Amino acid sequence: MAKLDKNQNAGAAYKKEAGAKRPQKKPFMTMGPTLHYKHSNVVRGWWLAVVVYLIACLFWSKVLWGNIDLISFQQLNSNAEIWLMGHLVKNPVSIYEYPWHIFVLGGLAAVLTFLPLMISQLLSFSYSILPVIFCFTIARLPGLAVMLLLACFMVAARPLRFRSRFISLVLCSSPVLLYFIITGKVPDPDPLKWGLSFSPWLLSWLLGLGLCGIILSVGHFTRYRPGQIWIAGAVMLMLSAFTFFDRISFAESDYKLYIQSNSPDSIENFQPHDISSILDKAARNPLFSSDDRFAYAPDPHIYREELIYELQEMLSLGTWPFWFIENCESDFYDYERKRRAVIEQYNYFSAEHPGSRRVASALYYKAILNEHQPDIPAIKELEVLRFYSEYPRAEVYPDWIKLYAKYPESVESLEARWRMAMNLAGRKKFNTAASLCREVLDLADEKRKIVEKNRSDETEIFQKPPETVVTPMDLQGLLHRTNYYLRFLKGKYLEAEPALLAKFIRLDKRSMDYLSELKSIEKRLPDNSPLADNVRLEILQKQYYGLSLIENLKKFVEQFPKTDGALEAKFLMGKRYAKLGLDESDPVKKGEFIDKADSMLSVLIEENPENIFVKDIKKLLSNLPNEE
């Protein structure tokens, strides 16, 4: 019995010794060298690194998105660009206008990309999950976050943990590099610009590897102390932030985001929209009428005309008939809501950056957008909903005063001067209005140099950002309007009845009652009034078209031979002949119209080389086809 117990004990001892010699299976995920330090020190260093990463995400969100917010499911589903990186190269700040933005994007992307990788390698994969979540939600980079999570998993996996930590890091960061290569490009026909669009992301990868190399090199001698990661990340973040504030600033990035991208001309609601299909749908269903008188109109054509009349009448009151909304497939008609939303962004920029020179552009856009109103006669004439802003509305007068008072030296203040002049002329303050118009003309040459700089040279890769939102075409139109109306504010026109002159200047040429107002003024004018020819000319332009207009203009020139109106009438005849010639398909008639336009305009510019239509005449002549 004793011998049996002895054998059993020997067997147990042998099994224990054999188990001790058998190698234990190592876990798939590794633990980094930093975890060998005291747990409280590790956690403190990790939290500091997370804080640095959080600040980087917040800064990225503010620079690239204009605000600090969390990503939404709607953005993930509806906005495909949010999964890509290429659009960030040009929006809101373009690297082609601000080359230093390449270093800003590269530095920030390096922090966002390689800080989680270092945390996963030196601590463990679980410690890198929170920064990746920040990248997804706060920085709003879901695509990068997915690739980053994969890279963090790879760098912490034992099969990819090599003797050289740096080589392991380079290999495991390949998903991020691949993501940058696939999504970082900007479509551009210029191969140099296309190649340059990758520069921020390739720079971020190189900077990130350099940052990790420094951390690993220093860690080799300090045994990878917990504070190394957050210190290196903070230094890179501060360098990127310093570059941004020194070379760009939030004022410029917000200007690009809230002002330049919201120019009135680019807003979809204020673009021309064909409403023929909406009228067709409503005309097929008489019950859509808001007026019981037309609910059972026997003739569809009559009913359609009544619908157009109803639309014009209600739109002039600032509302829409319900049948229009019911048959409209989009919300382009809700332009007032869009106007309020955009103006709110203009106001936000002005309040956030009161010292920025770009506030002048914000005030200019705000005033121009407030000037936009529907062209109601075009609804019947063309069955198109379009807008115009040339008429200075009295309600917008305070906005122009604010722009002129705060930024009198800006290019945008020229438009403010003219708008103020027109409002003052309507109040019979002709001398002050004339003085403002002369200021516009006196400053035009100086401001034109600034405006001309806005023209981009397609051959250059880097271009200076525009100093003003006023385009050369805008300036040309302003000078034409100024010269046109300045003649009514001086000389013989001041001898006319002040009330009638003021009323004539303030008439809206696109209003429904423009013709009736002109006839009312004409009736009250004395026969020898210097304003008579101008009023009669405007009436002719509203009453006649095509060849009929030309015939009546000829009679007008005979009736008022040596007046400003006669000069304008000759210009209008040449312009009308040119249009008829360009539109005519018959070669014989086409040649006749072109010859008449050429001879009439050429004689006009020879006899009156200083008239206000000179530039328009030269442009018309240059567009006329050459004789074969």
How confident is the model over 451-503, as pLDDT tens digits? Answer: 988 766 666 788 888 899 999 999 999 999 999 999 999 888 888 889 999 99
Confirm whether 488 is domain-assigned. no
194 or 111, higher pLDDT: 111
The answer to whether residues 345 and 360 belong to one domain is: yes
Q: Can you give the residue range of the structural domain that contains 320?
A: 249-391
Last residue of one domain, picked from the residues 362, 391, 420 = 391
Cβ neighbours for 233, distance < 8 A, ≥ 6 positions apart: 49, 52, 53, 56, 111, 115, 211
Q: Where among 230, 248, 266 does a domain terminate?
A: 248
Residue owning tokens 């760098």: 155
| 466 inside domain | no
Q: Are 217 and 267 found together in one domain? A: no
Question: At 336, is the pLDDT very low, low, confident or very high (cuts 50, 70, 90)?
Answer: very high
Q: Return the minimum-mean-pLDDT range out of 282-286, 512-516, 535-539.
A: 282-286
For residue 440, tell me if it sits in a domain: no
Of 328, 358, 391, the one marking the end of a domain is 391
More confident residue, 341 or 78: 341
Residues 204 and 285 in one domain: no
> In 3D, which of 624, 579, 574 has the Cα closest to residue 603?
574
Q: Where are the alpha helices (DSSP H) in 525-613?
A: 532-543, 546-559, 564-583, 587-607
What is the pLDDT at residue 296? 47
230 and 266 share one domain: no
Are 210 and 257 in the same domain? no
Angstrom distances, CA of residue 437 to CA of 402, 504, 599, 612: 18, 17, 33, 14
Whether 14 is in a domain gets the answer no
Question: pTM higher than 0.95, yes or no?
Answer: no
pLDDT at 293 over 50: no
Asked if the model's pLDDT at residue 529 lies above 60, the reply is: yes
Looking at the domain assignment, is residue 27 inside a domain? no
The per-residue pLDDT for 485 is: 93
Task: Express each pLDDT in 140-159 by its tens digit.
Answer: 999 999 999 999 999 888 77
**Residues 235, 257: one domain?**
no
Is residue 519 assigned to a domain?
A: no
The 10s digit of each residue's pLDDT in 224-279 is 787 888 999 999 999 999 999 999 999 999 999 999 999 999 999 999 999 998 88
Q: What are phi and psi of 374, to 5 degrees?
A: -65, 140
Q: What is the DSSP string of 419-453?
A: HHHHHHHTTT-HHHHHHHHHHHHHHHHHHHHHHHT
**Can you give the pLDDT at residue 459?**
66
Instruction: Tell me whether residue 376 is in a domain.
Output: yes
On whether both 126 and 237 belong to a single domain, the answer is yes
Q: DSSP letter at 286?
A: G
Q: Are residues 244 and 318 in the same domain?
A: no
Same domain, 243 and 174: yes
What's the mean per-residue pLDDT of the chain?
Answer: 87
Q: Assess whether pLDDT exceeds 70 at residue 291.
A: no
Structure tokens, 612: 């206000």
pLDDT class of 333 with cuts at 50, 70, 90? confident
Position 4 scores a pLDDT of 44
Residue 234 and residue 124 share a domain: yes
Question: In the chain, what's the furthest Cα-to-Cα distance?
Answer: 148
- Residue 484 in domain: no
Contact in structure between 52 and 237 (CB atoms under 8 Å): yes
237 and 294: one domain?
Answer: no
Q: In angstroms, what CA-CA distances link 609 with 603, 614, 617? A: 10, 7, 10
Cβ neighbours, 10 Å, residue 513: 11
Structure tokens at 28: 């798939």
How sure is the predictor about 1, in pLDDT bands with cuts at 50, 70 and 90?
very low
CA distances from 256 to 175, 344, 358 (A): 32, 15, 10
Answer whether 128's CB lies under 8 Å from 265's CB. no
Is pLDDT larger for residue 239 or for residue 587? 239
Residues 343 and 324 in one domain: yes
Of 616, 624, 349, nearest to 484 by C-alpha is: 616
Is the distance from CB of 508 to CB of 390 less than 8 angstroms?
no
Q: How many domains does the chain have?
A: 3
d(Cα 521, Cα 508) in Å, to the nearest integer? 14
pLDDT > 70 fraction of the chain, expressed in percent and rounded:
91
Could you give the angle at the alpha carbon of 430 between the alpha carbons of 427 and 436, nearest 5°?
105
What are all long-range contacts of 516-519, with beta carbons under 8 Å and residues at least 24 apart?
A: 518/542
